[in-house]
Amino acid sequence: MREFRILGPLEVADGEEVLSLTGHKQRALLALLLLDANRVVSTDRLVDALWGEQPPRTAATSLQNFVSQLRKLLGSDVLVTKPPGYQLRISPQQLDLDRFVQLVEEARAEDSAVERAEKLRRALAIWRGPPLADLGFEAFAQQEIGRLDELRLAALEDRVDAELEGGGHSDLVGELEAFADEHPLRERLRSQLMLALYRSGRQAEALQIYHDTRSRARPSSSYTARSCARIRVSKRDRRSCRRPRTGSRTSSRRCSAVGSCRFSELRSPS
């Protein structure tokens, strides 16, 4: 089955063979059609996206030539003319984005944290790098790249939540620290880092992350109300979590519920 890939550099693969896409405009045209796969994309929109507000007089003819080249590569039954433009006809399993979205939706419907985390790992493994990496300077691609990045980060955060729910806080700290450095204003990631640190017995570091993030948050941010609500424990449970005994299942259970804490109640460990 032929595969179309946009979660990374643009690629078309036929089995083990990666097909050759010649020319930047041809690649950009295919990306535009893939982003609206199975929908008609108008000629006017394609011209605007490929050449901007002042296209050359030959833009329409050039577009027809690029379409003709892609048809030879993909097949006339895949790339069809349909007024007022063109349509790329593919199945959902042929586009990596569709496979990713389907796996994420299936994962979110799972009751089991283990199954949820596993499906989200499979979904995230589809990514080969930044989306449309070779078209990042194209104006039409920049908004789409932001949208696709948000889908990936949301799935990543869902996977972290599932692994936290499964008790994997210690294994997550290093990964979350790297992600928090890469996305310093992403509140959900930083609240997950706080929770992972806190459950790993590193309360002072968790508290520092809280203060650092709060100082960066906009005045209108709901960070304090929403993110910090994840780290609330009663005074009795806080004492038991502060110095957990090795192998103690009781303290592990007390500290394991995702979303059960309010960080505003947390104090530096004495």
Contact 150, 158 (CB under 8 A): no
Has residue 153 been placed in a domain? Answer: no
**End position of a domain, from candidates 52, 75, 93:** 93
The phi, psi pair for 13, rounded to 5°, reads: -120, 135
77 domain residue, yes or no = yes
pLDDT of residue 55 exceeding 50: yes
Count CB atoms within 10 A of the CB of residue 146.
10
Residues 86 and 172 in one domain: no
Model pLDDT, residue 213: 80
pLDDT of amino acid 22 = 85
pLDDT digits (tens, 9 = 90+) for 127-159: 999 999 999 999 999 999 999 999 999 999 999
In a domain, 224, yes or no: yes
Q: What is the mean pLDDT of residues 85-107?
A: 98
**Residue range of the domain that includes 255:** 168-270
259, part of any domain: yes
Q: Say if pTM beats, i.e. exceeds, 0.85.
A: no
N residues, the chain: 270
Indicate the residue among 36, 68, 93 that finishes a domain.
93
Task: Tell me the DSSP string of 214-242.
Answer: HHHS-TT--HHHHTGGG----HHHHHHHH
- Residue 242 domain-assigned? yes
Domain shared by 175 and 265, yes or no? yes
Task: Flag whether 84 is in a domain.
Answer: yes
What CATH number is given to the structural domain containing 42?
Answer: 1.10.10.10
- 87 membership: H or E segment, kind and range: strand 85-88
Give phi and psi for 90, each to the nearest 5.
-140, 160
Among candidate residues 45, 60, 93, the one where a domain is terminated: 93
Classify residue 144: in a domain, yes or no: no
Residue 229 has a pLDDT of: 53
Task: Identify whether residues 172 and 88 lie together within a single domain.
Answer: no
Q: Which pLDDT does position 263 carry in this prediction? A: 45
Is residue 228 over pLDDT 70?
no
Averaged confidence pLDDT in the chain: 85
Q: Which tens digit of pLDDT belongs to each residue from 177-223?
A: 999 999 988 999 999 999 999 999 999 999 998 888 888 766 545 54
Strand order in the sheet with 79-82: 40-42, 85-88, 79-82
Tell me whether residue 134 is in a domain. no
- Number of structural domains (the chain) is 2
Query: Quick one: tokens of 232?
Result: 């609330």
What pLDDT does 98 receive? Answer: 97
